[in-house]
Amino acid sequence: MNDAEILQRLSDLSIELPDPPRAVAAYVPVRIAGDVAYVAGQVPVVDGEVVHPGRLGDPDSGPTPEDAALAARQAALQVLAALREGLGGSFERLTGISQVTVYLATTPDFVEHPQVANGASQLLVDVLGEEGRHARAAVGMASLPLGASVEVAVVASLTR
């Protein structure tokens, strides 16, 4: 898919690409090495607020798996915005998504990692088609930056 096709697909899905995220510490949002782009982990943020924060599995303050899947979807959308910006404002060099890692803030007994991670995976497939299919890891941890419930990092394949 080329840049125009991806933008059209986003439009067809009634999805607006957010502004590219900015680094909030000593890193860059996207690092390109030859024909690989590494997109830094994205915490889902809308209008400056973390989307569905908290620890999954926490009955008092945690988001539901469905809400966390929506947060993962938002984080994947931010990944696409970062990737496009990192590629000079166009998806032209993008040939596919190779690896997605979804980090989840969870209680020790939470086990629905795949369902939450599907929020990110499905968004990438919906937008990119076959080029959006990828290998994936979904990993639970005690906490994430800004109290987020999810963080999504991506490795993408590029043309030289």
If you write DSSP's letter for every residue of the chain in order, what string do you get? --HHHHHHHHHHTT-PPPPPP--SSSS-SEEEETTEEEEEEE--EETTEESS-S-BT-TTTPPPHHHHHHHHHHHHHHHHHHHHHHTTS--TTEEEEEEEEEEEEB-TT---HHHHHHHHHHHHHHHHGGGG--EEEEEEES--GGG-SEEEEEEEEE--
CATH code (residue 10): 3.30.1330.40
Per-residue pLDDT tens, the chain, 160 aa: give them.
799 999 999 999 999 999 999 888 899 999 999 999 999 999 999 999 999 999 999 998 889 999 999 999 999 999 999 999 999 999 999 999 999 999 999 999 999 999 999 999 999 999 999 999 999 999 999 999 999 999 999 999 999 8
Domain that holds residue 95: 3-158
Total count of domains within the chain: 1
